[in-house]
Amino acid sequence: MTVIVVASNILVQHLFGQWLTWGAFTYPFAFLVTDLTNRLQGPAAARKVVVAGFVVGILCSVIGSQIDGEFGALVSFRIAVASGLAFLCGQLCDVSVFNLLRRFSWWKAPLVASFLGSCIDTALFFSLAFAAPFAFIEPGNDMGWAGEMLPLLGIGPQVPLWVSLALADWCVKVAIAIIALTPYRAIVWKHAPRIA
């Protein structure tokens, strides 16, 4: 989890196309780590992994807030709050849903838990970080650029830019949740074939 959180915090600083950052491709694997821990060691161990990831994320935010980029600090207070709350809520939802579904087909718990956790994570992060109603979190930080009205993903109806960013990010999370079923199955089969 530590490697994924650190890598994602670094890679989020680098754009991949118009709607994503490279961090969008590493962060969803945090759900895989949580699900594997939950399956192999139980929900209590999975929650400890989530807390460890949260602490590492806070440390990354503190370090990032001390590094100046092109537009000021790499991590603003508002982004740090949004990131931390989204991670914690999304991952803890994943743990709870996974635990409820663990007795069903091998793929249901990781897929449904990752899907719901990703929904919560994406909605919380992008709304808290960029939506105008949450500007009170850091009033001095102008996020007006995120509210610019543009076609959804460049082709749809007019929406604030942050909505396109959120949708693109969520689509990557869902795609990786599906792809991650293969390594999930292989790892679980190798370490606990009777549980798989």
Binning pLDDT at 50, 70 and 90, where does residue 196 land? very low
Mean pLDDT confidence for 56-78: 87
Whether 129 is in a domain gets the answer yes
Of the candidates 114, 76, 79, the one whose C-alpha atom is nearest the C-alpha of residue 95 is 114
Q: For residue 53, what are the domain limits?
A: 2-191
Whether 152 is in a domain gets the answer yes
Contacts of 139 (CB under 8 A, 6+ apart): none
Binning pLDDT at 50, 70 and 90, where does residue 69 land? confident
Whether 74 is in a domain gets the answer yes
Single-letter code of the amino acid located at 37: T
Q: Is the pLDDT of residue 107 over 60?
A: yes
CATH number at residue 179: 1.10.1760
- Name the domain count of the chain: 1
Whether 21 is in a domain gets the answer yes
What pTM value is reported for the model? 0.92
Rounded Cα–Cα distance for residues 173 and 179 (Å): 10
